[in-house]
Amino acid sequence: MDSRRYTPLDRLIGGIDKAINVLAVPAQAARSSPAAAGGEPPLSEAERRKSSRLMRVNHAGEVAAQALYQGQALTARDPAVAAAMRRAATEESDHLAWCEQRLAELGGAPSRLNPIWYLGSLAIGALAGAFGDRTSLGFIRETERQVETHLGGHLDRLPVADHRSRAILERMRDEESQHGRTAESLGGVDLPLPVRAAMHLVSRVMTRGSYLA
């Protein structure tokens, strides 16, 4: 285990490096994509365009997830909680790479608004962490619950023939659910209804913005 004590400057440099890697460097997955095996029927132009937009939204969500976990890890008080967030962020890195690869296969491009989603999510994550680890973990639990619902909706909307995108989203949904259960087991608390509603509203804004641009 890394026992080094990081200074504020270390954290700043690390944060800048992380942002550059997420926003400007092609994502690399540690695990094979769930879409790697098997083929699929050819997609029509309309189906390809719809899948591309949906996967662009999911890619933007994974960009935001990287920033959220980074912000929360920066302000976590318990080293075990910070380590759990970094582990979850590693799995989210695979999700980011899988979505990016599939988006390229579909002929799409990442959302032009990703820098906004990243910076906003970093600030939200740091703010959640500032209220204490139990609140921060509760934020993760609620975030993953909403993401799980969101992915279920996208699975319903995907063209039937798009087996490769479907395999990715199904794996992501399973792992997001596990992240939520981990946060709960570490002591995550239920968030107040107004906070949950605000999170849902922010998610809708990001989803709509990424779908269009």
Please write the tens of the pLDDT for every residue from 32-89. 999 876 567 789 999 999 999 999 999 999 999 888 888 887 777 787 777 777 777 7
Q: Which amino acid is at 77?
A: R
The amino acid sitting at 200 is: H
Q: Is 37 part of any domain?
A: no
The answer to the question of residue 203 being in a domain is yes
pLDDT value at position 10? 59
> What pLDDT, in 10s, does the model give residues 116-138?
999 998 888 888 888 888 888 89
How many domains in the chain? 1
Confidence of residue 29 (pLDDT cuts 50, 70, 90): confident
The answer to whether position 204 is within a domain reads yes
CB atoms under 10 Å from CB of 148, counted, come to 17
Q: Is residue 31 one of the residues assigned to a domain?
A: no
Q: Which residue has the higher pLDDT, 187 or 88?
A: 187
In a domain, 27, yes or no: no
Q: Say whether pLDDT at 9 is over 70.
A: no
pLDDT > 70: what percent of the chain?
88
Domain containing residue 155 = 43-212
Residue 111 φ/ψ, nearest 5 degrees: -60, 135
The whole-angstrom separation of Cα 123 and Cα 64 is: 11
CATH number assigned to the domain comprising residue 112: 1.20.1260.10
Residue 14 lies in a domain: no
Is residue 51 one of the residues assigned to a domain?
yes
Structural element, H or E, at residue 66: helix 45-75
Res. 11: pLDDT tops 70: no
CB-side neighbour CA atoms (13 Å) of 109:
5
Whether residue 2 is contained in a domain is answered as: no
